[in-house]
Amino acid sequence: MKRAKRILAACAALILAAALWLPCLHLFFARPASAFYVKEGLSPKARQLAARQMQLWADPLLRKQELDRMRLSNAEWDFMGRSFLVWALANVGLRDPSSKPACLQTMDRIIDETLQLEQQKGLCFFLMPYAKDRPYLVQPARSLFLDGEIALMLASRRILQEKPEYKPAPTARVNLIVNALRRSPRLALESYPDECWTFDHVVALAAIRLADYLDGTDHADLIRDWVAMARQKLVHPESGLLISSFATDGSPLVGPEGSSLWMIAHCLQLLDEGFARDQYDRARRQLSGRTLGFSYAREWPDSWKGPADIDSGPIIPFFEISAGSSGMAFIGASAFGDEPFLASLNATLDFAGFPSRKKGALRYCASNPVGDAALLYAATLGPIWQKVKAGRNQSL
């Protein structure tokens, strides 16, 4: 056969083979959504992710290595990895009572160390270096990023099991947030100097809801006022999505971002169900993508483009896939029971997340401890929110 004809035949065979293989590839990674998230009990993946995370907190050397690696890129990740893990373990303990003692032990270790570090090393230890570039507008300086997540950690711990030593701390922290919000004319608190994040506000308000549930207080008016302000001032007009950050005077800084929005929608479930569903549906329409059976999430909607940063992670060109947004999309999909999206995201995770399993413990090599902790939270969320929504009388 002539060489040209041979080359042509080989190319045709390659094209035909690609047409056969590429649409089938996702089938090798396809699992039902229940492999990742179940309504009751723990999914196999949740169990394996929890085993790895608890291993990290049982082995100081391993923990140091992993945290040092993350802190080289972003000190926030060290802190958020702790937050997501504590929130996740509270749900794990409620889902699987046999694991409750181990969960409580790990949660207490994380909370105690985090509070100690915050006290010893100061506000900036868990923040990015630019927190030191200029002073906070409101003095004495506080970061809602730290206060909100710590308050939610402490409240989650107390919901799993009350601990008298932890009662004053979250109450004081919640009171700080409540008083500061009431003093702020725009209901906006700084996480960084003159930089307020929607993510941090909804986490803090969720912590306030948990505190109301635990202590019988009532901050419904404050929550209502903040949601009304957010609907009016923080919604990006073109996409209808909440913006990520704004200045203390309420002017927008960064538009809607997937790395924030999925978690924002989940926290809004405790604050305003209708608004939460609206934000999730919009994010699903404008940020999610699917190629060859693999789902992923983009960082920005078509109507707004921001710079790739530490939150978005590297953006894969053409598809505009963001590792940060795709990871956080698990939280949205689990929280809103979006099984098709969750199953397809899970296929992508197993395809491109490079899972590594050892002795029943799972980690993703393309992720890091904060990413894995966020995935664990996505795989276990539900019981805490359900308890708080049901109210104290119903769940006692």
Partner 1 sequence: MTFWQRIRRFWRADIFSPRGFLLRAGVIGAAFLALHLAGLRDYASVLNGTVGPASTGWKTSAFLGVAYLVVYMALVILAPILILAAGILSLWHRRRRQQ
Nearer to partner 1, 91 or 325 (CB): 325
Query: Can you tell me which residue has the tokens 């906006």?
Result: 188
Of 60, 251, 317, 365, which one interacts with partner 1 (CB under 8 A)?
Answer: 365
Question: Minimum CB separation from partner 1 for residue 254, in Å?
Answer: 18
Give min distance, CB of 25 to partner 1, in A.
7
Interacting positions 319-338 with partner 1 (CB under 8 A): 323-324, 327
Q: Is 23 in the site for partner 1 (CB under 8 A)?
A: no
d(CA 325, CA 321): 8
Shortest approach of partner 1 to residue 316 CB, angstroms?
A: 9
- Which of 194, 351, 361, 389 binds partner 1 (CB under 8 A)? It is 351
What SS3 state is found at 134?
coil
HSE-CB for 95 with a 13 A CA cutoff: 24
Token pair, residue 346, equals 């899970």
Using CB under 8 A, pick the residue from 39, 59, 64, 68 that binds partner 1: 68
In the block, which residue shows the tokens 């007009």?
A: 237
Told to check if 73 binds partner 1 by CB under 8 A, we report yes
By the rule CB under 8 A, 22 interacts with partner 1: yes
Looking at the Cβ atoms of 205 and 287, the one nearer to partner 1 is 287
Rounded Cα–Cα distance for residues 135 and 131 (Å): 8
Among 201, 354, 381, 385, indicate the residue that binds partner 1 (CB under 8 A): 354
Binding-site member from 81, 255, 301, 313 for partner 1 (CB under 8 A)? 313
Q: Is 15 exposed, middle or buried (0-12, 13-18, 19+ CB in 10 A)?
A: exposed
Does residue number 13 form part of the binding site for partner 1 (CB under 8 A)?
A: yes
Select from 6-14, 211-219, 224-232, 242-250 the region that touches partner 1 (CB under 8 A). 6-14
Instruction: Based on the shown chain and the rule CB under 8 A, indicate whether residue 291 belongs to the binding site for partner 1.
Output: no
Looking at residues 76 to 95 of the shown chain, list those that interact with partner 1 (rule: CB under 8 A).
Answer: 77
Q: Residue 187 has which token pair?
A: 């209901």
Specify the residue, 156 or 244, whose C-beta has the smaller distance to partner 1. 244
Name the segment binding partner 1 (CB under 8 A); options: 8-16, 79-87, 120-128, 179-187: 8-16
The residue behind tokens 């960064």 is: 254
Q: Does residue 305 contact residue 323 with C-beta atoms inside 8 Å?
A: no
CA–CA distance, 225 with 106 (Å, rounded to integer): 36
Cα distance between residue 304 and residue 326, in whole Å? 18
Degrees to nearest 5, angle at CA 90 with 89 and 94: 110
Interaction between residue 367 and partner 1 (CB under 8 A): yes
| Size of the residue set binding partner 1 (CB under 8 A) | 36
Q: CB of 305 within 8 A of CB of 253?
A: no
**Binding-site member from 134, 310, 357, 360 for partner 1 (CB under 8 A):** 310
- Cα distance between the two ends of the chain: 82
Pick 70 or 214: Cβ nearer partner 1? 70
Nearer to partner 1, 30 or 222 (CB): 30
- C-beta atoms surrounding 102 within 10 Å: 16
DSSP-based three-state secondary structure for 195: strand
Least Å distance, CB 159 to partner 1, is: 30
**C-beta of residue 238 within 8 angstroms of C-beta of residue 300:** no
- Rounded CA separation 141/118 (Å): 13
Chain contacts with partner 1 (rule: CB under 8 A):
6-7, 9-11, 13-14, 16-18, 20-22, 25, 65, 68-70, 72-74, 77, 310, 313-314, 323-324, 327, 351, 354, 356, 365-368, 371
